[in-house]
Chain A
Amino acid sequence: MFLERPEVSDLMKRFGTHACLELFGAYGVKLLHGADDRELSGPVFSSVIGLVGDKLRATCLLAATEGPLRASCPAGEQLRDWTGELANQLVGRIKMQLFARSVNVALSTPLTLTSVRLVPLPRSNVGPIQFTLETEPVTVWLEVQATSDFELGPECLPVVSIGELRLF
């Protein structure tokens, strides 16, 4: 049975924070962590991905206004498309952190939406993770459930690191 476990949500929040800072950093954008938790107002680009494993399941939403998306986008100006790809890479990084600790999850493909406003209403006390680039917000919102026997294994190194090429 899946339950909301605050300690697991906190753990995933740490993974999400690390993953988001590293991801935007890889595209030359230095986000600041810990902004106020105000709503995002428009246009807001949001992308949602599901993570499903035997003992852990989660929904991850990445949302941002135009500034951080434009600053990180390596080609073109299709911000809706880029939001989906960023969410994909963000969740890929979270998955790698979980897998390094013996937790395997499958990922859905991203669903992207554009809105005038986004006001998160978290199900638990663990709220979304807030970042800013100058005055513009980036939010990572992870809602997590785990079985009562879910736990992390000892950390091990990934087979292939981010940005690495492995030839067979």
Chain B
Amino acid sequence: MKKVLIVDDSDTIRRQVAAALRSNFAVLEAANGVDGLACAGANVDLSLILLDLNMPLLNGVDMLEQLKSDLRTREIPVLMLTTEAEPSLIDRAKRAGASGWIVKPVKPDMLASAAVRVAR
């Protein structure tokens, strides 16, 4: 089964997203960017990462840039899942190699179909 990593500091959001994706993916979770990077490094066969923006320790765009600069993890598709829609942040994520941007809240069926579509 394909693996997805959900990185979000809200336990509630991780549960909600996991429930939406569990029929198609094995789900891994991390609560901040530092743990997310470690989890991605240990699971380089990930099919997809869903990544929040505003998190403690390391925010989502910084984590994305580190993922995409690491040869082991750079090919993993990343969907940003956040409360913000600031164009400069969206452009930064796009330049860093994100596959897409979703503004919360998102309907579970839309999220599930987007994940299937973007996952490698």
Asked if A and B bind, the verdict is: yes
List residues of chain A with CB under 8 Å of any chain B CB: 26-27, 73-76, 78, 81-82, 84-85, 88-89, 91-93, 95-96, 99, 104, 107, 109, 158-168
Closest 7 interchain pairs by CB?
A92-B83, A75-B15, A85-B10, A75-B16, A167-B100, A160-B85, A74-B16
CA A107 to CA B54, docked complex, whole Å: 8
A160 and B10 in contact, given A89-B83, A168-B98 (Cβ under 8 angstroms): no
A-B CB contacts (within 8 Å), total count: 96
A105 to chain B, nearest CB (A): 9
A132 to chain B, nearest CB (A): 22
> Which residue in B9, B12, B102, B106 is a CB contact (below 8 Å) of A75?
B12
A73 to chain B, nearest CB (A): 6
Cβ contact within 8 Å between A158 and B106: no
> Which residue in B15, B100, B105 is a CB contact (below 8 Å) of A162?
B105
Quick one: closest B residue to A77, CB to CB? B12
B44 is an interface residue with CB less than 8 A from chain A: no
What are 23 pairs between A and B in contact, CB < 8 Å? A74-B105, A75-B12, A75-B13, A76-B11, A78-B11, A81-B12, A82-B10, A84-B10, A89-B104, A92-B103, A92-B104, A93-B83, A95-B84, A96-B85, A107-B54, A109-B9, A160-B85, A162-B104, A163-B104, A163-B105, A163-B107, A165-B106, A168-B98
Interface centre among A26, A92, A158 (most CB of B within 10 A): A92
List residues of chain B with CB under 8 Å of any chain A CB: 9-13, 15-16, 19, 54-56, 82-87, 90, 94, 98-107, 110, 114, 117-118
Determine the chain B residues whose CB is within 8 A of the CB of A88 once the complex forms: 10, 54, 83
Interface of B is mostly: mixed
Determine the chain A residues whose CB is within 8 A of the CB of B87 once the complex forms: 159
Cβ contact within 8 Å between B105 and A81: no
Cβ contact within 8 Å between A81 and B106: no
